[in-house]
Chains A and B, each alone.
Chain A
């Protein structure tokens, strides 16, 4: 019989601690599938953030370390210096990357660090229970913005891909969404591209994934995916913001 599907070796056979309908698990699997397909699982070192996905190393079958809140890009920069020929990536949420770790991510891009960052934008602080993130949409409710985010008080949501695409050293920047089978397929392609850019030593590569947090959004898993489509994508347009000329 011909095998048509197998779970990637990149994922450990463990149940994740993520909530039902959360897309962290999807993102994990896509990254691991790409590394597996590239034959890079044994050659990869990754950094998990502070946030729900600090435990990513319980599921990703690779060498990994945790990092302090927001500092994953600095940690990855250090790892990269010791092992210039490994595949290195960071995996970070929007509180981690777009708030407390803004300095580290911009400067990793600025130096043209030869690693990849996977950015999980779920427009909320998940692990701490639903506080406003820099990426929370206007009008979106959070436990620190109970009437919805107001521009006058908290500013407008930050668009990280757009920002990073002004930085010379960020050679691959793409935003994808994890809300439909078609978008998930595109996400996998983006992840693969970003990792290829790293392998070719071209510079910093970055994939933002619009993700769901049904628990803290107060939505069912299905409605959460719909909300990515209806509310997030219009504000956070999908697409490639930067790529090498030959890609």
Chain B
């Protein structure tokens, strides 16, 4: 397979198209502008459609419409835009409509800055909008991994009839890496949509029953039953979707936990620590929700500290602490505001944490 050099954002856009996205709706925001720009000229070539939406609120609701109609929709934004999309994400979970959402996240709160951040972790993994719901959240650490995730996210979204999120960051959106693009999936015909998504809005045609997609359930017992139904689905996701990777020596005194850009830096820090005679390993959650609890249950007796390394004020650490469940001390190494620490800074701070616990 041919390797080509691609900028993260353009690769994400191309991956979405090859994964089958026929419809993209977006509003400009740095650091992901290359995605709507790319889609605006590439998507129509595949027979799809692009709309520059008037806001992220409109974009997410356009995606809901396209997905309700049986199309494969893709939306992307960066942190403040994702905040506006929460209404639609909650709504789509309620109505059970599959879309793929990409957050090329940046520092906050408020408008914050345009440099990479991971402070949308809670928003992504805890629902973010109103009501009880979940979306599977995938955290790529390389552009190639992001490409593969975006493509397969459509299968996950369709299988569970639920939105799926990919949480990248501004660093990944802006950097270039050699990648291999998967073959393009063919767009579904009208007949295929009616066959494969019998619930979708295609016009009644010769169907026995008309289709209605709804969120309103005024009767408490009916709404409770629906929420229970959604949670049966989320339970299945927790069993079927969890993904993680370990790196380095898992019998080490230091075990890092990091995702996305931070996990790449931590991998370097582990080598720096090794040169200093300190052994370290890493758990890299690939799904942030459902969170991989198992590797924490399997922590080695020699592990003295678990370190959550993140570009936020301690969000990932909440899941880490819950998973470690008091077995060993948990510490935080973080930078915010768009600052990405060097691998040396991470190694130094980890070493200090270990010494303090000795």
Contact = CB atoms under 8 A, between A and B. Distances in A.
Interface of A: 41-45, 47, 54-55, 57, 61-68, 71, 74-83, 86, 103-104, 106-107, 110-111
A14 B160 CA distance: 33
B61 A78 contact: yes
A75 B203 contact: no
Given A78-B65, A82-B70, 11 more contacts: A42-B204, A45-B201, A64-B213, A71-B64, A75-B61, A78-B66, A79-B68, A81-B23, A81-B49, A81-B71, A86-B202
Given A82-B23, A82-B69, A103 B57 contact: yes
Given A61-B210, A64-B212, A79 B69 contact: yes
Contact of A63 (B51, B206, B211, B216): B211
A42 B27 CA distance: 34
B63 interface: yes
Max count, chain B CB within 10 A of own CB: residue among A61, A77, A103: A77
A83 B216 contact: no
B30 interface: no
26 contacts: A42-B206, A47-B65, A54-B216, A62-B203, A63-B212, A64-B201, A65-B68, A65-B213, A66-B215, A67-B61, A67-B64, A71-B88, A74-B58, A74-B59, A74-B65, A75-B65, A76-B65, A77-B62, A78-B23, A78-B66, A78-B71, A79-B69, A81-B49, A82-B70, A103-B58, A111-B51
Size range of the interface on B? 35 or more
B214 interface: yes
A65 B66 CA distance: 12
- The 8 tightest CB contacts between A and B, nearest first, are A78-B65, A74-B61, A78-B66, A75-B65, A82-B71, A82-B69, A65-B213, A78-B62
B71 to A, nearest CB: 4
Nearest to A58: B212
Contacts of B232: none
B76 to A, nearest CB: 15
B266 to A, nearest CB: 40
Contacts of B203: 42-45, 62-63, 83, 86
A126 to B, nearest CB: 15
A193 to B, nearest CB: 22
A64 B23 CA distance: 20
Contacts of B53: 74, 107
A67 B95 CA distance: 10
Nearest to B216: A54
A79 to B, nearest CB: 4
Nearest to A57: B212
A78 B69 contact: yes
Nearest to B211: A63
B51 A81 contact: yes
Contacts of A111: 51
Interface string B301-338: 00000000000000000000000000000000000000
B202 A83 contact: yes
Contact of B54 (A68, A80, A81, A107): A107
B25 interface: yes
Contacts of B216: 54-55, 66
Contacts of A54: 216
B210 A63 contact: yes
B350 interface: no
B67 interface: yes
B65 A63 contact: no
Contacts of A110: 54
A104 B212 contact: no
